[in-house]
Amino acid sequence: MTAKALSHSAVATHNSKDDLYLIVHGKVYDCTSFAADHPGGEDFLVELAGQDATEAFEGVSHSDGVSAILEDLYIGDVKRIPGEPVDYPRTKNHLSISPCATSSDGISFGLYSVLIGAISIYAGCWYISNSAAGTH
Ligand code: HEM
């Protein structure tokens, strides 16, 4: 089959059990006939139909044998359209990652602690030396 270039929104129209495209690592796979035979279950693929399934695909330890199947299902590559999101937003977000503190938050929190600690020590020393001076 000749490889096609499909936009994310074009892939998104193939979003049902009977018309099921998936994107994995920028490549588009027609999984319509394969879904029922998917050893991990049809539901996983149906749930992600028409979307970028790279994260979910990588989250499972698929064997090397999968590459041969993927070759059969391959129909084309994702075409980048300016303005279209790189990672197509998930409509069914059971696999989305919930927001949590980023490492940069952690770093700035650590810096604040060090800064506040240093100021407290400095203020403590200043107070002690001042009150010692006051006793004379
Ligand atoms: C897009 C094409 C996909 C193909 C061709 C594919 C193929 C396969 C194959 C051949 C297996 C059997 C085990 C192996 O050989 O690795 C498998 C297992 C599995 N797949 Fe997929 N898969 C695809 C996508 C996905 C996605 C998007 C998910 C989502 C989570 C998924 C979840 C699973 C799970 C949970 C198993 C069972 C793993 C286990 O029993 O340890 N697969 N898949």
The per-residue pLDDT for 85 is 64
Residue 5 gets which letter from DSSP? E
Report the share of the chain in percent with pLDDT over 70: 75
Instruction: Put the strands of the sheet holding 27-30 in their side by side order.
Output: 4-7, 74-79, 27-30, 19-24, 15-16
pLDDT confidence of 87, banded at 50, 70, 90?
low
pLDDT over 90 percentage in the chain: 55
Is the CB of residue 20 below 6 angstroms from any atom belonging to ligand 1? no
> What's the gap in Å between 38 CA and the centre of ligand 1?
6
Give the pLDDT confidence score for residue 62 in this predicted structure.
96
Query: 45 C-alpha to center of ligand 1: Å?
Result: 9
CA of 11 to the centre of ligand 1 (A): 20
Say which amino acid occupies 38.
Answer: H
Q: Supply the pLDDT for residue 17.
A: 97
